[in-house]
Amino acid sequence: MNLPPMLKGESVTRLIQGAAAGAVIAMIVGFSWGGWTLQSKAQKLADQKASDAVVAALTPICVDKFKQASDAKTSLAALKAVDSWQRDSFVTKGGWATFPGNEPNRDVADACAKVLDDMK
């Protein structure tokens, strides 16, 4: 049986070739199916989870601020009259998605508008 030229030679050379091939295969399997991630991807996922948690925590406060306003019924009717893609701007302009020491949070405004739109 004729071996390919890569497999002929000293055992040390073949050992190094095998180790390199094994490392490449381990990386392919690890990143494809093993759940390995790069630090940049892990950081991006962590940032997204943190942002989602902030939105989930602040949305009920936004809804409560909206309900506690003196003109809540009128504002709710006006919110429902606005196009769905402009409702987050309506909530932001109303100040319900603005929290002390921060700028208005557009994601919170969007989530708040969705909750308010489902209200009767």
pLDDT digits (tens, 9 = 90+) for 48-106: 999 999 999 999 999 999 999 999 999 999 999 999 899 999 999 999 999 888 899 99
CA atoms within 13 A on the CB side of 100: 0
- CB count, 10 Å around CB of 92? 21
pLDDT tens digits for range 19-34:
999 999 999 999 888 8
Contact residues for 119 (Cβ-Cβ < 8 A; gap 6+): 76
**DSSP classification of residue 4:** P
Domain boundaries, the chain: 1-36, 39-118
pTM of the model: 0.69
Distance CA 93, CA 95 (A): 5
Please check whether residue 87 is in contact with residue 106, taking contact to mean a CB–CB distance below 8 angstroms: no
Buried b (16+ CB within 10 A) or exposed e, 28-59: eeeeeeeeeeeeeeeeeeeeeeeeeeebeebb
**Per-residue model confidence as pLDDT tens digits over 94-109:** 999 998 888 999 999 9
